[in-house]
């Protein structure tokens, strides 16, 4: 059949084929869309159960993943629709390719941020209100976002750190902390005497409920240029280590004064020669 020189049969044939393709596509979308969502939800729930992640955290992750999933699906659906209508998609995609390259390079930081942020959340590397050090910043975590984490330094500064910068996180709020005091005594002093005095102080602090373990005198840590260095080591409840160290230091000074043990100043031997 021809109309004004156009082959109608071919036209109908083509459009029927297009219609069938669209229907298949719609069915595929109707199946894939909820299926994928279920898979994501279940996989996350399973992971959450297995790794005991808090309900709030799971919500955040689920919302994120469903969003990403939906955007990709819609994008693919539209692209394929265009393809069916035979609308010269090649150019569109080639264009997208060139743009994609430019953007891919420019935005790779963004993707890195999200990937890293996702794993920081999933692996519970840091929690809000924990004291952490990372990427040269140190302080209390205020907010963990997918792109940026906010850490409040002890001096009050609020630091915004892109997640990809957090290559290695030191979390100082996960367990007991070390209290360590190095104290120098004179080369003239009796080491045994000084150590027994220090151990007496340690025995006192072992009653202190801040201490989980020790403190104890380790021994002669080193020979300084003017002093013999002794070391005291213990473990305290988290975040108690600085106060504990300060208290030990105060006690040592008092006890050394009482026992006549000197904390020596720098020494120098002077040999006088006439010019």
Out of 27, 35, 94, 128, which residue is the one contacting its own copies (CB under 8 A)?
94
Interatomic CA distance for residues 198 and 192, integer angstroms: 10
Q: How far is the CB of 55 from its own copies (least distance, A)?
A: 21
Q: List the interface residues with its own copies, window 164-193 (CB under 8 A).
A: 164-165, 167-172, 174-178, 180, 183-184, 187, 191
- Least spacing, CB of residue 70 vs its own copies, in Å: 13
* Residue 105 beta carbon to its own copies: minimum distance, rounded to whole angstroms: 4
Task: Tell me: does residue 160 bind its own copies (CB under 8 A).
Answer: yes
End-to-end CA distance of the chain: 124
Element (H, E) at 41: helix 8-50
Chain residues 16-55 in contact with its own copies, contact rule CB under 8 A: 16, 21, 24-25, 28
Give the Cα separation of 181 and 230 in Å (integer): 8
- Which residue reads 């939800």 in tokens? 41
Q: Which of residues 62-81 bind its own copies (CB under 8 A)?
A: 72, 75-76, 79-80
Is the N-terminal amide bond of 58 cis, ω within 30° of 0?
Answer: no
The CA–CA distances, whole Å, from 271 to 186, 201, 208, 264, 268 equal 21, 40, 49, 21, 10
Minimal distance, residue 53 CB to its own copies, in Å: 15
Of the residues 65, 161, 216, 255, which one makes contact with its own copies according to CB under 8 A: 161
* Binding-residue pattern over the window 107 to 126 for its own copies, x denoting contact by CB under 8 A: xxxxxx-xxx--x---x-x-
Half-sphere CA count of 188, side-chain side, radius 13 A:
7
Helix (H, G, I), strand (E, B) or coil at 14: helix
Of 66 and 218, nearer to its own copies (C-beta) is 218
Distance of CA 181 to the CA centre of its chain: 30
Return the range that interacts with its own copies (CB under 8 A); candidates 34-42, 49-57, 91-99, 201-209. Answer: 91-99
Q: Is 153 in the site for its own copies (CB under 8 A)?
A: yes
Is there a contact between 260 and 197 (Cβ–Cβ < 8 Å)?
no
Compute the Cα dihedral for 93, 94, 96, 101 and give only its sign: positive
Minimum gap (Å) between residue 207 Cβ and its own copies: 19
Of 182, 195, 261, 172, residue with least CA distance to 222: 182
For its own copies, the binding residue among 145, 199, 208, 214 (CB under 8 A) is 145
Beta-strand (E) ranges in 46-144?
A: 131-134, 137-144
Region 188-247 residues binding its own copies, contact defined as CB under 8 A: 191, 218-223, 225-226, 228, 235, 238, 241, 243, 246-247
Choose one: 39-47, 51-59, 101-109, 197-205; the region binding its own copies (CB under 8 A). Answer: 101-109
Question: Given the rule CB under 8 A, which of 37-45, 56-64, 140-148, 201-209 is the region that contacts its own copies?
Answer: 140-148
């Amino acid at each position: 059949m021809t109309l004004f020189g156009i082959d109608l049969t071919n036209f109908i044939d083509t459009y029927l084929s297009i219609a069938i393709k669209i229907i298949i596509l719609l069915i595929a979308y109707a199946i894939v869309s909820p299926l994928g969502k279920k898979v994501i939800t279940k996989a996350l729930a399973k992971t959450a159960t297995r790794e005991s992640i808090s309900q709030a955290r799971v919500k955040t992750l689920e919302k994120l993943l469903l969003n990403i999933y939906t955007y990709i699906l819609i994008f693919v659906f539209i692209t394929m629709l265009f393809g069916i209508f035979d609308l010269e998609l090649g150019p569109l995609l080639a264009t997208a390719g060139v743009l994609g390259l430019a953007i891919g390079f420019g935005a790779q930081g963004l993707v890195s941020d999200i990937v890293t942020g996702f794993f920081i959340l999933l692996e519970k590397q840091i929690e809000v209100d924990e004291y952490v050090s990372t990427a040269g910043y140190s302080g209390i975590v205020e907010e963990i976002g997918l792109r940026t984490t906010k850490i409040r330094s002890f001096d009050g500064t609020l630091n915004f750190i892109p997640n990809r910068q957090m290559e290695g996180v030191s979390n100082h709020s996960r367990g007991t902390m070390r209290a360590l005091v190095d104290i120098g005594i004179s080369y003239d002093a009796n080491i045994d005497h000084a150590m027994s005095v220090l151990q007496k102080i340690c025995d006192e602090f072992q009653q202190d409920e801040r201490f989980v373990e020790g403190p104890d005198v380790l021994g002669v840590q080193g020979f300084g240029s003017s002093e013999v260095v002794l070391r005291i080591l213990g473990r305290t409840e988290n975040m108690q280590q600085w106060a504990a160290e300060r208290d030990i230091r105060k006690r040592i000074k008092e006890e050394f004064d009482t026992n006549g043990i000197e904390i020596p100043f720098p020494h120098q031997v002077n040999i006088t020669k006439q010019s």
